[in-house]
């Protein structure tokens, strides 16, 4: 049985995560995007002779599209930024203003395993930190190869390599939420010898995003060789402290070619690859003044035409409006579920109207779009009403503040649904959390949240425990 590349629940989690990560802490995110573009620009320049013409380009999993903006303005290329998060793509206009950019990519909401582009329509495809989010990575390769023109180039980078030297004892979060002993081991370069996979993967996994960290260097090489006729690699092997520095240098000295290949097998790291499709490139790129000619309908795979304020398919009636510069070209069924709008089974605190579902115990709304939240004290309640048939699951997103742990106790959250206990959790670390629990088969759900310990912010009369940013029902997946 073929592995499913991504389930609907994972796609839903990615939409939530990208909105939170891109919009919830804008200053931190913008600084990170600028740093990433410096690194990615360097990789592109190292391989310009093989990449050749970049127009039209397509970046898959582009997040806000910051690397696509860089390609347009630093390299003079024209093309598309595609991501499953429409909100993240819309945030790209803030980057354009902040960075004073004159050229912009065309922004498309879409799925990397069902690209809304015609066969052979793209000269250059790039992907950064994307492929490992698919359990079946080859399915993405097949889609990329389909949309690439003959002789076109696929560049992917920042993909993790499974390391040999690790006991794989447990999963570890990012540095800022590590415990003191974990930070010390990380500074010494020893933590990687203990953890199961990429440090920090725990955060995205906690959102419901399933990641594929099974690929060794030889696995990537075999996959690339199967689908592309020419390739170039760059390996980035970690040197976190003396514990990794000593092993890396020894492995390079022992390699007969003095390459990092053996070090990457032992310590992991990340891979950048530039891969050429078979065939001879054409002379001219497509005219993006009529970019719709490169697209295909996500429902019936027919052609799309411009309607002045959006795109439409004459064959099946599919329509996608231009919403703040973004065209949502997800298949209709997925689009309805991933972008439901105001609905009785969802209380998303970044969306207006959610307050109608809230009961007692909620403090005033705080934060920014993508990360709007409400604090609670010992308890809070709300009501959700089911929209879909079938078994339901409650999904709760929130944040545990560092002040919650200063009393020397873990954070405890208990959920009561229609008078019955549905789940209880103990949180040992500060930071974002996502909790899920099955709920009984009923038309309406009165949800009560019980939280401890309680603390008081300085110069504030409120009692606070944790804050919540979204509570919703999702179908159970078996």
Classify 24 as helix, strand or coil. coil
Instruction: Specify the pLDDT at position 185.
Output: 96
**Those residues with Cβ within 8 angstroms of residue 301's Cβ, 6 or more apart along the chain or in another chain:** none
Q: Are residues 265 and 384 in the same domain?
A: no
Does residue 461 fall inside a structural domain? yes
* Closest by Cα among 203, 12, 19, 207 to 111: 12
Q: Are residues 249 and 351 in the same domain?
A: no
Angstrom distance (rounded) from CA 394 to CA 11: 17
Query: Which tokens in the block code for residue 204?
Result: 């995205």
User: Residue holding tokens 């002379």?
Assistant: 283
Average confidence (pLDDT) over 117-129: 97
Lowest mean pLDDT among 126-140, 280-294, 387-401: 280-294
The CATH number of the domain holding residue 421 is: 2.60.120.260
Q: Are residues 98 and 13 in the same domain?
A: yes
Instruction: Specify the pLDDT at position 198.
Output: 86
Query: CB count, 10 Å around CB of 416?
Result: 17
Angstrom distance (rounded) from CA 155 to CA 144: 10
DSSP 259: -
Residue 119 clears pLDDT 60, i.e. is over it: yes
Q: Are residues 402 and 271 in the same domain?
A: no
Angstrom distance (rounded) from CA 132 to CA 116: 21
Residue 3 clears pLDDT 70, i.e. is over it: no
Q: Are residues 63 and 199 in the same domain?
A: yes
Length reported for the chain: 478
Average confidence (pLDDT) over 273-281: 95
Q: Are residues 261 and 373 in the same domain?
A: no
Instruction: Specify the pLDDT at position 1.
Output: 45
Task: Please identify, among 276, 304, 335, the residue that sits at the C-terminal boundary of a domain.
Answer: 276
* pLDDT tens per residue, range 231-255: 999 999 999 999 999 999 999 999 9
Does residue 365 fall inside a structural domain? yes
Task: Please identify, among 251, 276, 301, the residue that sits at the C-terminal boundary of a domain.
Answer: 276
Does residue 330 fall inside a structural domain? no
Does residue 340 fall inside a structural domain? no
DSSP string, 216-248: -HHHHHHHHHHH-SEEEEEEE----HHHHHHHH
Q: Are residues 272 and 372 in the same domain?
A: no
Q: Tell me how many domains the chain contains.
A: 2
Angstrom distance (rounded) from CA 242 to CA 122: 44
Instruction: Specify the pLDDT at position 148.
Output: 97
Phi, psi torsion values for 469, nearest 5 degrees: -120, -15
Q: Are residues 136 and 255 in the same domain?
A: yes
Q: Are residues 352 and 271 in the same domain?
A: no
The CATH number of the domain holding residue 132 is: 3.40.50.150
Lowest mean pLDDT among 47-51, 82-86, 432-436: 432-436
Task: Please identify, among 219, 243, 276, the residue that sits at the C-terminal boundary of a domain.
Answer: 276
Q: Are residues 239 and 101 in the same domain?
A: yes
Does residue 288 fall inside a structural domain? no
Query: Which tokens in the block code for residue 197?
Result: 């996979």
Does residue 294 fall inside a structural domain? no
Does residue 290 fall inside a structural domain? no
* pLDDT tens per residue, range 141-175: 999 999 999 999 999 999 999 999 999 998 888 88
Residue 330 clears pLDDT 90, i.e. is over it: yes
Of 434 and 40, the structure prediction assigns the larger pLDDT to 40
Q: Are residues 138 and 247 in the same domain?
A: yes
Q: Are residues 351 and 270 in the same domain?
A: no
Q: What percent of the chain has a predicted confidence (pLDDT) above 90? A: 73
DSSP 132: G
Does residue 323 fall inside a structural domain? no
Is the separation of the CB atoms in 442 and 374 below 8 Å?
Answer: no
The domain of 463 spans: 346-475
């Amino acid at each position: 049985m073929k592995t499913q590349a991504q389930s609907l629940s994972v796609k839903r989690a990615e939409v939530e995560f990208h909105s939170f990560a891109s919009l919830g802490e804008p200053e931190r995110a913008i600084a990170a995007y600028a740093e990433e573009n410096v690194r990615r620009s360097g990789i592109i320049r190292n391989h310009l002779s093989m990449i050749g013409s970049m127009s039209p380009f397509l970046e898959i999993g582009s997040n806000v599209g910051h690397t696509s903006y860089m390609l347009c303005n630093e390299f003079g290329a024209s093309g598309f930024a595609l991501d499953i998060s429409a909100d993240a793509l819309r945030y790209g206009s803030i980057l354009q203003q902040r960075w004073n950019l004159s050229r912009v990519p065309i922004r498309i909401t879409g799925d990397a395993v069902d690209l809304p582009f015609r066969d052979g329509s793209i000269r250059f495809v790039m992907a950064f930190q994307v492929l490992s989010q698919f359990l079946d990575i080859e399915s993405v390769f097949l889609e990329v190869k389909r949309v690439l023109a003959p002789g076109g180039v696929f560049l992917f980078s920042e993909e993790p390599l499974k390391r040999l030297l690790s006991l794989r004892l447990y999963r570890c979060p990012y540095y800022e939420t590590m415990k003191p002993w974990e930070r010390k081991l990380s500074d010494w370069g020893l933590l990687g010898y203990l953890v199961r996979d990429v440090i920090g993967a725990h955060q995205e996994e906690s959102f419901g995003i399933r990641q594929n960290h099974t690929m060794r260097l030889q696995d990537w090489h075999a996959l690339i060789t199967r689908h592309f006729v020419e390739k170039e690699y760059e390996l980035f092997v970690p040197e976190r402290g003396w514990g990794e520095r000593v092993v890396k240098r020894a492995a390079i000295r022992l390699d007969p070619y003095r390459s990092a290949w053996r070090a990457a097998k032992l310590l992991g790291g990340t891979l950048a690859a530039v891969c050429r499709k078979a065939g001879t490139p054409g002379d001219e790129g497509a005219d993006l003044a009529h970019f719709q000619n490169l697209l295909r309908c996500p429902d019936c795979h027919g052609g799309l035409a411009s309607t002045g304020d959006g795109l439409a398919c004459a064959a099946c009636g599919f329509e996608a409006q231009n919403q703040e510069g973004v065209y949502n070209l997800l298949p209709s069924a997925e689009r309805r579920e991933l972008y439901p709008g105001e609905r009785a089974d969802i209380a998303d605190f970044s969306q207006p109207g959610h307050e109608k579902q809230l009961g007692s115990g909620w403090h005033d709304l705080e934060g920014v779009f993508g990360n709007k939240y409400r604090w609670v004290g010992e308890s809070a309640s709300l009501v959700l009403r089911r929209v879909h048939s079938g078994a339901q699951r409650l999904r709760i997103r929130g944040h545990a503040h560092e002040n919650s742990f200063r009393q020397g106790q873990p954070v405890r959250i208990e959920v009561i649904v229609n008078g019955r206990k549905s789940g209880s959790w103990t949180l040992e670390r500060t930071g974002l959390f996502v909790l899920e629990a099955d709920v009984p088969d009923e038309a309406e759900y009165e949800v009560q949240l019980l939280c401890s310990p309680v603390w008081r912010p300085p110069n504030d009369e409120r009692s606070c425990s944790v804050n919540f940013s979204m509570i919703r029902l999702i179908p159970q997946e078996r």
